[in-house]
């Protein structure tokens, strides 16, 4: 009977013989199925602020756009994934998997793993933006938010991004679309997104007219005989 230990040496053939004796199978090669995914890159140009793109991707993937408390340092999109909350940093991709799950992907890994579904149109990787739901078209463009400038004023309005002398700035507009403030990107401020209004608020004249009608119907005090407001 041959000696089962004969010829065992620390080289490839000996290890293969040991695996056979132990009933261990060797790894085999597999190819990933050619499935298509949706992906959106958090790619912020150096002369732009990350607010608009970050909030758009966050809305798409059910995540949250965040930065440090002051200024726009450390912008990121926090994404709820199957393994917990993960962050996509500038330059990273956010992927929607075949089961509808979202997760961030390092740009180097993405470049080695994926290619455009339509090579003639790389933009095919980007999801199609959904139209705004019943939004008043006369409202100003931008994100509705409050910008608190540390040690100075605060402004609430419609925020868009622009450049001045090659530097990014936030432009804040009122309901009438007129500029009420411009905040440079290097300023110390807090950017607080607010629920986006879909309609303009009632003009003050209309509110005053409503009170006048109530006063006429219920007396000058605005209350009825039993002390109730309509």
DSSP states along 193-229: E-PPPSSPPPPHHHHHHHHHHHHHHH-TTS--TTS--
- Does residue 64 register a pLDDT over 70? yes
Asked whether residue 184 carries a pLDDT value surpassing 70, the answer given is yes
Is there a single domain that holds both residue 90 and residue 43? Answer: yes
Mean pLDDT is lowest, of 63-72, 94-103, 109-118, for 63-72
Residue 154: domain span = 143-193
Q: Check if the beta carbon of residue 80 is closer than 8 Å to that of residue 63.
A: yes
| % of the chain with per-residue pLDDT over 90 | 17
Residues 184 and 214 in one domain: no
**Beta strand segments in the chain, E:** 38-41, 64-66, 76-81, 84-88, 93-96, 102-105, 143-149, 154-164, 167-173, 179-184, 189-193
Tokens found for residue 126: 């980007």
What's the pLDDT at 221? 47
On whether both 156 and 115 belong to a single domain, the answer is: no
Q: What is d(CA 85, CA 103) in angstroms, rounded to the nearest whole number?
A: 9
174 and 230 housed in the same domain:
no
Does 99 lie in the same domain as 172?
no
> Does 104 fall in a domain?
yes
Residues 164 and 183 in one domain: yes
| Mean of the per-residue pLDDT values of the chain | 74
Report the C-alpha gap between 197 and 188 in whole angstroms.
26
Highest mean pLDDT pick, 58-67, 83-92, 209-218: 83-92
Say how many domains are in the chain: 3
Whether the pLDDT of residue 198 is over 60: the answer is yes
pLDDT greater than 80 at residue 60: yes
Domain membership of residue 70 (yes or no) is yes
φ, ψ of residue 114 to 5 degrees: the values are: -125, 155
Q: Which secondary-structure segment (H or E) carries 108? A: helix 107-113
Question: Is 33 a domain residue?
Answer: no
pLDDT surpassing 70 at residue 204? no
78 and 53 within one domain: yes
Which has the minimum average pLDDT: 138-152, 154-168, 199-213?
199-213
Higher per-residue pLDDT: 92 or 133: 92
Residue 66 has pLDDT above 60, yes or no: yes
Q: Are residues 185 and 207 in the same domain?
A: no
Residues 44 and 90 in one domain: yes
The whole-number pLDDT of residue 12 equals 56
Query: Is 72 in the same domain as 94?
Result: yes
**Residue 15 Cα distances to 3, 23, 28, angstroms:** 16, 12, 16
What is the reported pLDDT for 153? 78
How many residues can be counted in the chain?
A: 230
Q: What is the pLDDT of residue 136?
A: 74
* Residue 151 vs residue 171, higher pLDDT: 171
pTM: 0.51
Pairwise CA distance, residues 50 & 56, whole Å: 10
Q: Compute the C-alpha angle 185/127/190, nearest 5°.
A: 20
Q: Is residue 158 part of a domain?
A: yes
| Mean pLDDT, range 52-71, rounded to an integer | 81
Query: Any idea which of 39-53, 102-116, 212-226 has the lowest mean pLDDT?
Result: 212-226
- Pick the residue with more confidence: 197 or 211? 197
- The verdict on residue 76 lying in a domain is yes
Q: What is the pLDDT of residue 118?
A: 75
**In-domain check, residue 50:** yes
Hey, which of 28-42, 165-179, 185-199, 209-223 has the most confident mean pLDDT?
Answer: 28-42
CA separation for the pair 20, 192 (Å, rounded): 64
Please indicate, yes or no, if residue 68 is contained in any of the structural domains: yes
| 150 and 181 assigned to the same domain | yes
Asked if residue 169 is part of any domain, the answer here is yes
The set of residues, in sequence order, having a beta carbon less than 8 Å from that of 123 and lying 6+ positions away, is none
């Amino acid at each position: 009977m041959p000696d089962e230990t004969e010829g065992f040496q620390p080289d490839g053939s000996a290890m293969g013989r040991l695996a056979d004796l132990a009933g261990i199978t060797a790894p085999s090669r597999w190819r990933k199925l050619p499935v298509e995914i949706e992906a959106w890159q958090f790619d912020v140009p150096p002369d732009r602020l990350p607010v608009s793109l970050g909030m758009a991707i966050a809305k798409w993937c059910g995540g949250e756009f965040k930065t440090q408390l002051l200024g726009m340092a450390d912008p990121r999109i926090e994404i709820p994934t199957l393994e917990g909350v993960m962050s996509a940093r500038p330059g990273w991709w956010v992927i929607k998997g075949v089961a509808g799950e979202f997760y961030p992907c390092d740009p180097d890994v993405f470049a080695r793993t994926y290619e455009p579904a339509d090579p003639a149109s790389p933009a095919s990787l980007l999801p199609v933006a959904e139209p705004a739901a019943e939004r008043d078209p006369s409202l100003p463009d931008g994100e509705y938010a409050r910008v608190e400038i540390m040690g100075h004023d605060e402004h609430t309005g419609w925020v868009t991004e622009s450049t001045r002398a090659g530097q990014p700035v936030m432009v804040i507009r009122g309901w009438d679309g007129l500029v009420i403030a411009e905040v440079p990107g290097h300023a110390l401020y807090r950017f607080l997104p607010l629920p986006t209004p879909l309609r303009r608020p009632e003009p003050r004249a209309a509110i005053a007219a409503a009170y006048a009608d109530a006063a006429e119907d219920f007396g000058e005090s605005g209350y009825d005989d039993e002390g109730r407001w309509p």
